[in-house]
Amino acid sequence: MKKIMVLNGPNLNLLGTREPAQYGYETLADVEVMCRSMAAQYGLEVDFRQSNHEGDLIDAIHQSGKEVAAGESLGVVFNPGAYTHTSIALHDAIKGADVPVIEVHISNVHAREAFRHHSYISPVASGILVGLGVQGYVLGIQALAHKRGLAKLD
């Protein structure tokens, strides 16, 4: 069975308790349930991960790139958190691994502080979902399935 990696960056382990007015009350465990449910509708498995460490995220992207090349994975739904705005290394990992990535942000980063308006990930992402709450993850899974010919978007 093919899979999709759902990858979460720093501080997303605090989802549901960290700034709920900004990020909502759903926990990361809630997001995982939503993602698994959506992926199952396409006959896909989910490799769900979170790390506060940039190197771990890079290693996961490299792994997913290998799995995509082997026909085992469709790509990554990725919320890089604050690394969005700082990590050239994650940009290079996505580009180097040649892995399809849907960049997801729970909040509308463009309506927030100016430093959040720039993304190092966006130029190498296949698509970007911003400001749709945790529903962005579900839409990211649908987008990868659509891009890989497994689904039609209505």
pLDDT tens digits in sequence order for the chain, 154 residues long = 899 999 999 999 998 887 777 677 899 999 999 999 999 999 999 999 999 999 999 999 999 999 999 999 999 999 999 999 999 999 999 999 999 999 999 988 776 777 667 899 999 999 999 999 999 999 999 999 998 887 665 5
How many CB atoms neighbour CB 100 within 10 A?
21
CATH top-level class of 3-148: alpha beta
Q: For the chain, how big is the Rg over CA atoms in Å?
A: 14
DSSP 3-state of 119: coil
106 marked as binding residue: yes
Could you state, in order of their start, the residue ranges of all structural domains in the chain? 3-148
How many CB atoms neighbour CB 113 within 10 A?
8
79 marked as binding residue: yes
pLDDT at 153: 55
Catalytic residue check, 110: no
pLDDT at 114: 75
Catalytic residue check, 137: no
Residue identified by tokens 């460490």 is 53
pTM, two decimals, is 0.92
